[in-house]
Chains A and B, each alone.
Chain A
C-alpha cells in the first residue's frame, strides 16, 4: 500500500484491489442502522396514511381509488388519523432520544459533515451530471463518507424532519390557534413533499444502481469493503486508515448517580399524573395479564371468582396498567441500547448458593410479593411512588413497611449473599 497520503485516489494494482476487497471497514454504527430501518417503516406508514388523509378535491394529490384502498385497509378514516398521529409521535420520540443521547457521537459529526460543503462535493455533482446527462466517462473527485448528492439530500432531510415533527405536533395537539394550524398543515405538506422528491432518487440509488449496491448492504451490516470505501468515499477511507481528523476516542463515561434515576422517575410520575390523570403501576400488568390468560381458558370460573371476577370486564387488558407493562420492555430496550457495555443476561446470586437455589428463592419471593401487592392494593410503583407522590397515607405506610421489611429480610438472608 502506498505510504503517502494522497489528495486524489489513484488506480489500484490488481493485488491492491484484491487486498482492499477482502478488508472490511466500519461505516455505520448499529444505532444508525437501526434508526435507518425504523425510518423506512415510519416513512412508509406515514406517507400512506398521510396521503390518504388529504381527500378534499381542493388538495387531493393522489387518485381516489388509491385513497379508497387505504380507507378499506384501515376501516375508517378516523383510524387513519389515529395511526398517523400515533406512529408520528413514536417516530418523533425515537428521533429525539437519538438526538439527545447520540448527539456527541452520531448526530453532531454527521450534521457537521453534511453542512460543510467542499469544492469536491460541488465537483461531484457536476461530474454526476456529466455522467448521467452527457453520458461522459468520468472520474469522481474524492468524497467524504457522504458524497455530494447524499449531502444534498441529507441537508433537505436534516432541515425538513424537525419542521415535519414540529408542525405535526402543532396540528395533532392543537398547540397553536387555528389560524396558525392552517399554516402548519401546508408547511407539513410542503416539507414532506421536499423529502419525497429526494426519496425516489435515494431508493433508486440504493436498490437498483449497481455501483452503490455495497452501500446498501453497508446500511444493513454497518460494514463496507475497503475497496468500496477507497473508490466511493476516499476521504473517509483516508481518515480511517491514517487516523487523520479521526474523532477523538471517547473516554468511558462515568455512570450517573442513582439520584438521577430518582429525579427522572419523579419527572415521569409528574407527567403521568399531568397527562393521563393516573400514576404509575407495574403489578397491575401482571395481575391483569394473569386474569386475561385464565379467562381465555375458563371465563366462567374467572367471572365467578370473588377477586378476579371484579376485574373481569369486556376487555380485561384494556387498562392503562397493561400498557405500563410495555414500559418494562421499553426499559430493557433502552438499557440494551444506551448502556450496552453494562447490559448482560445473567443470574445474580451470592457465592453460597447455586443458580437453581437462587431461582427457587426468587420465585418464592415473587409469589409472596405478588400476593402481598394485591392485599396492599399496589406494589412499590403504585403504592410508594404514585401514592407517596400524592401524599396518600397508605402509600407512606407502605413505603415505611417496605423498607422495614426489606432490611429485615436482608438481615435474615444475608448469608446467601456472602
Chain B
C-alpha cells in the first residue's frame, strides 16, 4: 500500500515548461493536448501584493475523485495499491462524463484514440523511474513520492511547511498534489483558476431522472404482471371458455 503524491515548489519553478514537453514526449499526446501544463499568472495585484507565478497543474489524484463516480463503466478508478487515479483504456467509451466532472480540467479526450487521457503519475514508469516531468525539471521544483512513507523526499518536503492544495471550501475533493510557496501565489492561482464543481446536464438527467424513471417503470410493470399471475393462479387456471 502506498499513496503517491507530488509537491510542486512554486518558489523554485521558473515557468520554463520543460515538464510539459517531457510529458508530451513521453506520452505522445496529440497537438494542443497536455497532461500537465504551466500557466503563467501575472504580474497581477493580489491583496495589495504583486504576484508573478506559474500554475503548474495536472491530475491531482484526489482522495475523493469526482471523476470516478461520473464514469459509467468504471474505466476511471482509484488504484487501491498506489492511490493513483487511472483510466482503463479498454473500458473507456470516450463519453467524457469524467472530463466534465473534473474540477481541475485535468482530463481530455484524446482525439486520436477517442478515449480519455490524463496524468497517471507515469504509472508504467512507476518503480523504475520518476515521472517524466519530475525527472526533466531543471530546478527540481517537482517532487514525487509516497505520501505514506515518512522517510520519502516528498514527506520530508511537506514537513517543512508552507504547503497548500488547490481547493476551496466549496470544492475540495482531497487533492494529492501540493504546492509549496508563498501563500499569495497559491491564492492567486486559486483565484485565477478556481476548482469548479461541475455536473453535466446529461449526467444529472441520467442519475436523477432517467434512472428512477426506468427502475420505477420497469419495476411497476414487472410487479403488475406478477400480481396478475398470482390472481390467475388463485382463481384457478382454466382454458379459455366461450365468451357468451
Asked if A261 is at the interface of the complex by the 8 Å CB criterion, the answer is no
Given contacts A61-B215, A179-B96, A182-B97, contact A55 B73 (CB under 8 A): yes
Q: Does A309 contact B (CB under 8 A)?
A: no
Main secondary structure of the interface of A (DSSP, over half): helix
* A51 nearest CB across to chain B (Å): 11
Q: Is the interface of B mostly helix, strand, loop or mixed?
A: helix
Once A190-B210, A209-B232, A210-B239 are accepted as A-B contacts, the answer to whether A59 and B218 lie under 8 Å apart by CB is no
What residues on B are CB-neighbors of A368 within 8 Å? none
- A189 and B206 in contact, given A11-B244, A61-B211 (Cβ under 8 angstroms): yes
Decide if A193 touches B243 in the complex (CB within 8 Å). no
Contact: A58 with B69, CB < 8 Å? yes
Residues 235 to 275 of chain A near chain B (Cβ within 8 Å): none
What residue in chain A is nearest B240 (Cβ atoms)? Answer: A211
Whether B22 sits at the interface, judged by CB under 8 Å, is no
Q: Number of A-B pairs whose CB atoms are under 8 Å? A: 125
Q: How far is the CA of A198 from the CA of B94 in the complex (A)?
A: 31
How does the 8 Å CB contact mask read for A1-20 relative to B, with 1 for contact and 0 for none? Answer: 00000000001100001000
Q: B198-242, CB under 8 A of A: which get 1 and which 0? A: 001011011100110111011011101100110010000111101
Residues of chain B contacted by A181 (CB below 8 angstroms): 93-96
Least CB distance, A280 to chain B, in whole angstroms: 28
Chain B residues contacting A17 (CB-CB under 8 Å) are 242
Given the known inter-chain contacts A55-B73, A201-B224, A210-B240, please indicate yes or no for A186 contacting B217, CB distance below 8 A. no
Tell me the chain A residues, 274-316 only, with Cβ under 8 Å from chain B: none
A186 to B201, CA, bound (A): 11
In-complex Cβ contact of B221 among A182, A201, A209 (8 A): A201
Contact with B along A45-89 (1 / 0, CB 8 A): 000000001111111010000000000000011100100000000
Residues of B within 8 A of A77 (CB): 73-74, 91
B217: contacting residue among A139, A193, A210, CB under 8 A? A193
CB distance from B82 to the nearest CB of A (A): 20
CB nearest neighbor in A for B222 = A200
Is B72 located at the chain interface by the 8 A CB criterion? Answer: yes
Min CB distance A155 to B, Å, is: 16
**CB-CB contacts below 8 Å: A172-204 with B:** 172, 174, 178-179, 181-183, 185-186, 189-190, 193-194, 196-201, 203-204
Given A58-B69, A59-B206, A171-B93, is A200 in contact with B240 using a C-beta cutoff of 8 Å? no
A231 within 8 A of B: yes
A208 at interface, CB cutoff 8 A: yes
User: How far apart are the CA atoms of A327 and B116 in the complex, in Å?
Assistant: 36
Closest beta carbon of chain A to B32's beta carbon, Å: 16
The residues of B that contact A209 with a CB separation of less than 8 Å are: 228, 232
- State which of B74, B91, B207, B218 has its C-beta within 8 Å of the C-beta of A200: B218
**Residues in A whose Cβ lies below 8 Å from that of B220:** 197
Contact check, B224 vs A182: say whether CB atoms are below 8 A apart. no
Closest to B211 in A: A61
Please, how many angstroms separate the alpha-carbon atoms of A162 and B206 in the complex? 20
CB distance from B2 to the nearest CB of A (A): 25
Q: Is the CB of B211 within 8 A of A182?
A: no
A375 within 8 Å of B by Cβ? Answer: no
Closest A residue, CB atoms, query B224: A201
Min Cβ gap B160→A in Å is 38
Q: A58, B93: Cβ atoms under 8 Å? A: no
Which residue of the partner chain, among B207, B221, B228, B239, contacts A198 with CB atoms under 8 Å?
Answer: B221
Of the candidates B68, B69, B109, the one whose C-beta lies within 8 Å of that of A178 is B109
- Tell me if B99 counts as interface (CB < 8 A to partner A): yes
Contact A182 B200 (CB under 8 A): yes
User: Would you call B70 an interface residue if the criterion is a C-beta within 8 Å of the partner chain's C-beta atoms?
Assistant: yes
- The answer to whether B49 has its CB under 8 Å from any CB of chain A is no
Which residues of the partner chain A approach B94 to less than 8 Å between Cβ atoms?
174, 178, 181
Nearest-neighbour CB distance to chain B for A68, whole angstroms, equals 12
Please give, as numbers and ranges, the residues of chain A lying within 8 Å of B200 by CB-CB distance: 182
**Residues in B neighbouring A11, C-beta threshold 8 A:** 242-244
Q: Which of B205, B214, B224 contacts A193 (CB 8 A)?
A: B214
B121 to chain A, nearest CB (A): 23
Instruction: State the CA gap A194–B210 with chains docked (Å).
Output: 10
Residue among A59, A185, A204 facing the most chain B CB atoms (10 A cut-off): A59
Which B residues are CB-close (under 8 A) to A139?
243
**Given A81-B90, A178-B109, A59–B211 Cβ distance below 8 Å?**
yes
Most chain B beta-carbon contacts within 10 A, residue among A54, A58, A200, A210 = A58
A347 CB within 8 Å of chain B? no
Tell me, yes or no, whether A132 is within 8 Å of chain B by CB. yes
Chain A residues with Cβ below 8 Å from B74 are 55-56, 77
Contacts of A76 in B (CB 8 A): 90
With A200-B225, A210-B239 in contact, do A78 and B214 touch (Cβ < 8 Å)?
Answer: no
- Distance in angstroms between the alpha carbons of A197 and B222 in the assembled complex: 8
Contact B210 A193 (CB under 8 A): yes
B90 near A200: Cβ-Cβ < 8 Å: no
Q: Mark A27-61, 1 if CB is under 8 A from B, else 0.
A: 00000000000000000000000000111111101
Residues from chain A with Cβ under 8 Å of B19 in the complex: none
**23 pairs, A vs B, C-beta closer than 8 Å:** A17-B242, A53-B72, A56-B72, A56-B73, A58-B203, A61-B214, A76-B90, A77-B91, A171-B95, A174-B114, A178-B95, A182-B96, A185-B202, A185-B206, A189-B206, A190-B213, A193-B213, A193-B214, A193-B218, A200-B221, A200-B225, A209-B232, A210-B238
**Extra inter-chain contacts (4) besides given A132-B228, A186-B205, A190-B213, CB under 8 Å:** A54-B72, A56-B72, A78-B88, A178-B96
Chain B: residues with CB nearer than 8 A to chain A?
A: 68-74, 88, 90-91, 93-97, 99-100, 109, 114, 200, 202-203, 205-207, 210-211, 213-215, 217-218, 220-222, 224-225, 228-229, 232, 237-240, 242-244
Q: Which residues of A contact B (CB under 8 A)?
A: 11-12, 17, 53-59, 61, 76-78, 81, 132, 139-140, 171-172, 174, 178-179, 181-183, 185-186, 189-190, 193-194, 196-201, 203-204, 208-211, 231
Chain A to chain B: the 4 pairs with minimum beta-carbon distance, closest first: A193-B214, A78-B90, A178-B96, A204-B225
